[in-house]
Chains A and B, each alone.
Chain A
């Protein structure tokens, strides 16, 4: 049973528009959520996180929204840039150890110029 799901394997967006990546989870014990970005042949890099006590966290062009009742979070990128093209992983953790994260399968974002 996959506890973190990213139901869209891929997403294509025009440069300058908004990219919305979605993530659902099933474990109600998850209390910390993170997004990572991964380029080919590299390790993932941390992008943004949110604690379960918040419903929104913003960092520049990136905003993460958390809906605990729906067990759903989303990453908004606006405006999208070609350099944002990468695989985005949603991750969730419990017991305050964000290193022990459960990852989704990733969404490949393509931003077209």
Chain B
């Protein structure tokens, strides 16, 4: 069966510090990978998605970047965090075409 691991579960970082969130998927190959963010009381907003190694599409302009160095690894990064980067970050995978998302348990990021 497929599993998705995302860490850390919570993170408190000062403004201006770097960020690296990692996500790995097991039990499937060549998945589509996604980073979503949920603001408090809101729905999920797609930040990045990837259909293969090194292929990253950004959905919204922002202070963040994503990378996919291996088939089942997806990394969300920032060089300098802003207060507005606080939120609940979710990694997810899916098969191509009409296939639902499978989410990790998320990282609660608080930028102070």
Interface on A for B, CB 8 Å cutoff?
4, 6, 32, 34, 36, 41-46, 49, 51, 89, 91, 93, 96-106
Contact B43 A89 (CB under 8 A): yes
Tell me, in angstroms, the Cα distance from A104 to B45 when the chains sit together. 9
Which residue on A lies nearest to B59, using beta carbons? Answer: A100
Contact B105 A49 (CB under 8 A): no
Chain B contacts for A102, CB-based, 8 A? 46
Interface on B for A, CB 8 Å cutoff?
6, 9, 32, 34, 41-46, 49, 59, 90, 92, 94, 96-106, 108
A-B contact count (CB 8 A): 71
* Pick from A6, A51, A99: contact of B101, CB under 8 Å: A99
Chain A contacts for B96, CB-based, 8 A? 97
* Pick from A51, A93, A106: contact of B43, CB under 8 Å: A106
Contact B98 A96 (CB under 8 A): yes
- Residue with the highest number of chain A CB atoms closer than 10 Å, among B43, B45, B101, B108: B43
Contact A43 B103 (CB under 8 A): yes
Which residue on B lies nearest to A108, using beta carbons? Answer: B41
Contact A43 B43 (CB under 8 A): no
Chain B contacts for A51, CB-based, 8 A? 98
A99 and B49 in contact, given A44-B44, A51-B98 (Cβ under 8 angstroms): yes
Tell me, in angstroms, the Cα distance from A34 to B99 when the chains sit together. 10
CB distance from A47 to the nearest CB of B (A): 9
Tell me, in angstroms, the Cα distance from A42 to B103 when the chains sit together. 9
Chain A contacts for B43, CB-based, 8 A? 4, 6, 89, 103-106
* Pick from A32, A44, A104, A106: contact of B98, CB under 8 Å: A32
Tell me, in angstroms, the Cα distance from A96 to B97 when the chains sit together. 5
CB distance from A107 to the nearest CB of B (A): 11
CB distance from B91 to the nearest CB of A (A): 8
